[in-house]
Amino acid sequence: MSKKYRVAVVGATGAVGGEMLRVMERRNFPVASLRLLASARSAGTTLKFQGQDIAVEPLGVNSFEGIDVALFSAGGGISREYAPVAVKSGAIVVDNSSAFRMQENVPLVVPEINGGDVAQHKGIIANPNCTTVVTLMALYPLHQKFRVKRIFASSYQAVSGAGARAIEELKEQVKAVAAGHAVQPGIFPHQIAFNVIPQVDSFLETGYTKEEMKMQNEGRRIMHLPTFKASITCVRVPVYRAHSVAVSAEFEKPVNVSEARAAIAAFPGLQIQDDTVAPSYPMPLGAAGQDDCFVGRLRLDCALENGLAFWVCGDQLLKGAALNAVQIAELL
Ligand code: A2P
């Protein structure tokens, strides 16, 4: 019989945590036992896994005794505090927060791109930023073919990327606006219903946000390409689920669309949806709930030398978070 693992999910009641449970179920991850951890606020809650009700426990320093694999998705602060505790207890941590992504001894992994890096872990493996994962899934096969130099991109990011409470905020604002009531922003800095907000995460001195710089910083590590440059504008849009990114990419080698299309079609986890006659292209409504990322609007970029423009959509809770984390655990 193949080995089974004692798994803990930290942040099990959250948007990504819930998806982690469903992804493990769906992929038949070999779970011997499952411990669900969240804040004291969730005490008394139960969650279903493989038809069984499992009680949610408050996270504490003893939560990781007897655990083989711990999946963290409860924010950077919790990861910084408790991931080392889990490692000390003998668990391997797959961390969905940004806490360890830029640490040299922590592999930052998209299994289809740099799965081999997992072998170098010292107890913690980091899951990349969701917008970065979705973009690199489409960019990497093009990089393999044409060698990417730099990209310019804008993201259209779903509210669920900001957590379960952000989904409620959009729902309530839509109802309030429809009823003619005033809207009170909470998680987002401004009204998100019937609006777009050109700010995801906090601002740096350069004028970019932290979220925007993740594409370049994390992209360099994942693609093993220290010269990669990425100028991004990250935008929050009133979409419940799945991020979209409009990308213009410049390459070292001459590009052509048919080779680009073939490279994307052959890459695991990617589908082409690109028909200007139908017309058909990826949209978040179609990408939501799907494991694959979808690429369309592929064309020669008229403003760059050796440039390709494309549009990619991916479910950021799945490939951008929970699915990628479980795939990493599977590699282990
Ligand atoms: P809880 O539901 O008890 O607040 P999301 O990203 O969807 O907002 O989810 C965040 C996850 O992180 C939730 O599962 C949340 O649990 C958990 N969490 C937040 N703060 C803590 C904390 N101090 N200790 C443990 N888990 C936490």
Say if residue 125's pLDDT is above 60: yes
Q: What is the pTM of this model?
A: 0.97
Residue 174: burial class (beta carbons within 10 Å; 0-12, 13-18, 19+): middle
What is the reported pLDDT for 219? 98
Give the Å distance between the CA of 76 and the centre of ligand 1: 11
Nearest CA to ligand 1 atom 24: 39
Say if residue 1's pLDDT is above 80: no
**Across 202-209, average pLDDT:** 98
Give the Å distance between the CA of 23 and the centre of ligand 1: 19
pLDDT in tens, 259-275: 999 999 999 999 999 99
- How far apart CA 259 and CA 43 sit, in angstroms, is 54
Give the residue ranges of DSSP H helices in the chain: 15-26, 76-88, 111-114, 130-146, 164-178, 210-223, 257-266, 284-287, 323-331
pLDDT in tens, 164-199: 999 999 999 999 999 999 999 999 999 999 999 999
What is the reported pLDDT for 19? 97
Kindly give the interhelix angle for 130-146 and 210-223, rounded to the nearest 10 degrees.
40
Nearest CA to ligand 1 atom 27: 39
Q: Residue 58 CA: which ligand 1 atom is closest?
A: 25
pLDDT above 70 coverage of the chain, percent: 100
- How far apart CA 17 and CA 96 sit, in angstroms, is 10
Find the residues whose C-beta lies inside 6 A of ligand 1.
Answer: 11-15, 17, 38-39, 41-42, 59, 74-75, 78, 163-165
Give the Å distance between the CA of 207 and the centre of ligand 1: 30
What is the reported pLDDT for 30? 97
Mean pLDDT computed over every residue of the chain: 97
Q: Is 181 a catalytic residue?
A: no
- Asked whether the domain spanning 132-316 has the same topology as the one spanning 5-127+322-331, the reply is no
What is the reported pLDDT for 83? 98
pLDDT in tens, 130-165: 999 999 999 999 999 999 999 999 999 999 999 999
Q: What ranges do the domains of the chain cover? A: 5-127+322-331, 132-316
What is the reported pLDDT for 2? 76
Q: Is 130 a catalytic residue?
A: yes
pLDDT in tens, 51-90: 999 999 999 999 999 999 999 999 999 999 999 999 999 9
Q: Beta-carbon neighbour count of residue 332 at 10 Å?
A: 13
Give the Å distance between the CA of 73 and the centre of ligand 1: 8
Mutation test residue for ligand 1: of 78, 81, 240, the one with most atoms within 8 Å of CB: 78
- How far apart CA 122 and CA 106 sit, in angstroms, is 7
Tokens of 285: 């409504």
CATH entry 3.20.20.60 includes domain 132-316 = no
Beta bridge partners of 272: 295
What is the reported pLDDT for 43? 87
pLDDT in tens, 275-325: 999 999 999 999 999 999 999 999 999 999 999 999 999 999 999 999 999
State the CATH architecture for 5-127+322-331.
3-Layer(aba) Sandwich (3.40)
